[in-house]
Structure 1
Amino acid sequence: MIRELLQASSDRISPTAHYTGYVWVRNGLSHPGLATNAGRLFYNALAPANAASARLGQAHLEHYLLARHEVIDHLLTEAIEQGHVAQVIEVAAGLSGRGWRFTRRFGDAITYVEADLPGMAERKRRMLNTTGARGPNHRVEDVDAMRDSGPDSLAELATSLDPSKGLAIITEGLVNYFDIASVQAMWSRFTDVLSGFPTGLYLSDIHLGSNTEGRLNRTAVALLSAFVRGQVHLHFTGPQDAEAALRKAGFAEATLRRPDDFAGTLPHCTGRSARANHIIAASVG
């Protein structure tokens, strides 16, 4: 069934974007208008396997996605409430409902920009406009995260923001789809952009090649690779390697946290799924 769904999934939206978009809606983290029929079909197709894993106390995809999403939300909320961040760019935002939620919550206190490749960005703009879910401080722009400068680059987008206010860049579910050279180049672009603002914060999830839950992580990555019909890269052997690479890219501080570090604070940050990856929190000086 999954194979048939993948073949039917069109409209320049990846299978993971459809699936995660539906997960966010189903768990109250997104506007219902951002769910797609393909997302619902993917979700229903994977639901028995997720339920079986949950009964056995094993990691499952929905819980893992919710754990990483909650931690990124938590860290972004802290940065906004502490006055460090007033502008956000979510790169490769896909069908994420974070922009909708945060602009509703913080109103004029933040500007939220979703950035994605043209096909996805146009689809997201139509969905937000149709549902009335996009406020005045929430917009969607065409951006290629692999482009250094010029039209559709992150650097060009940053010129439209207020240089006197702190900026956060978010990538969720993106980093492990690129090889290490591309990731390091992307991180360098991020530090170049963030350095133009009084506070610059980067938040992301990342899978590591080896850690205390190495078998769990490799299993999760294998399943994800099969789902997206492409390679998922494991760049670093542990948190220290990843933190060193982030500092090499220009971040002054870089820390990797596991979602289960937030157990007791965030509802989905417990169990094996919360140990399947790490969350990056990095800042420029």
Structure 2
Amino acid sequence: MSDRSRADSAHISPSAHYTGYVWYRHHLSDAAFATPFGRWVHGLLTPIAWGARVGFGLDIEHLLLQRHLLLDARLTAAIEERGVRQVVEIACGLSPRGRRFCQRYPELRYLEADLPGMAVRKRLLLHSEGWLNGRHQVRSVDILAEQSLEALFAGLDRTEPVLVITEGLVNYFERPVIEGFWTVLAAQLKAFPQATYLTDLYPDLKEHPRYRQLRWGVDIVGRLTRGNYPLHYRNAGEIVEAFARCGFARTQVLDPALHSQGLPPITQATLVRVIEAST
């Protein structure tokens, strides 16, 4: 990876404060995950979110909940139906998922990872609340450094299934960069008897009834996060082909509108897709 690509990864963690506050607002996490900065950013974006909702029918928080809860649902199915006991959440930010799932499943080993600054913050948060222990840990990782990803997986049990999650990560990177990460990740996952990767992405849905407004919203997100926020693929077929090229054997592209159990009511055409890929 180029030095430019590595530097771009530093733009991701600040946005975690906003989503962390959104999870708290919707009763998905404890108050400890809601930072003052996250509250401030949420207040700053409230007029923009209101305008998008009223003017264009795009509810930003609703969209975030769609992806978050569908990822939760697929993780629950993996644990209860396929016996997954090892979970790695990369770019974890201030996600409460590790805390919630470790409470729900006492036998689960949950490894959270993020860039060093955010990893330190998350580790201190979990430790101060008494939630960090031998089966719930936080590590530093740079997804654009192959050795860093290899070190992250080194302590896992290679005789047991594993599931990896990234949420809110993919569309921060240009397509060659994120596909490079997927290729390295697939190679790491092939060392396990069963491995699943869950992520979300936003396709370039030109047929979407709000496509122009969607592009406007994407441009706003890009400015706020100091990136381009590219939309990589036009449809599910292109997504499946991309994951196959990167080394994944099977890929499902899940639309929250068609997999809505436990999700907020779907009142608008869905933008986000959840990907479930396995090696």
Mark yes or no: TM-score above 0.5.
yes
Report the Cα offset of residue 269 of structure 1: 5.2
Letter in 1 for 2:184: R
Counting only pairs closer than 5 Å after superposition, residues 116-265 of structure 1 correspond to structure 2 as 116-149=114-147, 153-213=148-208, 214-263=211-260, 265=261
Deviations 1:149-195 (A, max 9, x none): 2xxx1212212011121111111111111111111111011111111
Partner of 1:58: 57
Matched, 1:16 2:15: yes
Letter in 2 for 1:140: V
Shift of residue 199 of structure 1? 1.0
Q: Quick one: distance in 2 between partners of 1:223 and 1:48?
A: 13
Question: Does residue 45 of structure 1 match 2:41?
Answer: no
Deviation at 1:133, TM superposition (A): 2.8
Query: How many Å apart are 1:258 and its aligned residue?
Result: 1.5
Is 1:34–1:128's contact at 8 Å kept on the other side of the alignment?
no
Please provide the CA RMSD for this pair.
2.0
Q: 1:50–1:199: structure 2 CA closer, same or farther, 3 Å change rule?
A: same
Contact 1:14 1:228 in 2 (8 A): no
| Ranges of 4+ aligned residues in structure 1 off by more than 6 Å | none
Contact 2:12–2:225 under 8 Å retained in 1: no
TM-score by length of 1: 0.88
User: How far is the alpha carbon of 1:43 from its aligned partner?
Assistant: 1.4
CA distance in 2, matches of 1:99, 1:279: 19
Pair 235,113 (structure 1): closer, same or farther in 2 beyond 3 Å: same
Q: Distance in 2 between matches of 1:186 and 1:178?
A: 10
Shift of 1:14: 3.7
TM superposition score normalised by structure 2: 0.89
Q: Distance in 1 between matches of 2:26 and 2:12?
A: 21
1:148 to partner: Cα distance: 1.2
Q: 1:189 to 1:255 in 2, by over 3 A?
A: same
Shift of 1:203: 0.5
**Residue aligning to 1:268:** 264
Equivalent position of 1:94 in the other structure: 93
Q: How many residues align?
A: 268
Q: Which runs of 5+ in 1 are unaligned?
A: 1-10
Q: Which deviates further from its counterpart, 239-248 or 221-230?
A: 221-230
Runs of 5+ in structure 2 lacking a partner?
1-9
- Residues 72-115 of structure 1 deviation map (CA, whole Å, 9 limit, x = unaligned): 0000110000134211111111111111111011112x111111
